[in-house]
Amino acid sequence: MSDLYLYHATDRKNLESIKKNGLLINPPEHAFAEEIGVEALKNKIFLALNADAAEAYAECADECPDDIVVLKVKLDSLNNNNFDYDWNNRCEYKNDINSCIYKADIPGDLLQECNPANEPDQQFDDFERTELYNILFDVFWEECETNLERED
């Protein structure tokens, strides 16, 4: 078992519903619906590899929440089959990978509110011995190889 967490930031007004219903892959409303489009958000929960990144993503929303809350979920409590690369956050360098997609609801009892200042500064390489790392790195590397082939 690892001591790694994934993070999700949201408006504090959503906290009571999240505690009751969990993080939903298709919530009634989404902060990035206008910016990215509803179709691009369907069946996805966006998770960051560290709390600061999660908070920064929430701050980038079209309507930045007045009171951002950061939630964490233990990596080991999630099903590896539901992870995917976050194509909305394509990275040029491996060490820039700081988010992923989770394709299933996350029960509220798995989530804990946290203070980003007290959380470890997890980076992509910290996940190296996990299946999440393999999933994200494989897609990243395939994308890199494809782009290199196009340049030849």
Amino acid at 3: D
Domains annotated on the chain, with CATH: 5-151 (3.20.170.30)
Total-model pTM: 0.86
Instruction: Please report the pLDDT score of residue 40 as a whole number.
Output: 59
Strand runs labelled E in the chain: 5-11, 45-48, 68-74, 83-84, 99-102, 111-114
CA proximity to 5, closest of 53, 46, 48, 41: 48
Instruction: Please report the pLDDT score of residue 80 as a whole number.
Output: 97
Instruction: Please report the pLDDT score of residue 62 as a whole number.
Output: 59
Q: How far is CA 122 from the centre of its chain?
A: 13
The answer to whether residue 23 scores a pLDDT higher than 50 is yes
Instruction: Please report the pLDDT score of residue 43 as a whole number.
Output: 85
Total number of residues shown for the chain = 152
Buried b (16+ CB within 10 A) or exposed e, 52-81: bbbbebbeebeeebeebbbbbbebeebeee
| pLDDT tens digits for range 75-89 | 999 999 999 998 877
In this prediction, residue 2 has a pLDDT band, given cuts at 50, 70 and 90, of confident
- Which residues, in sequence order, are CB contacts of 121 under 8 Å at separation 6+? 50, 52
Q: Mean of the pLDDT values across residues 45-57?
A: 94
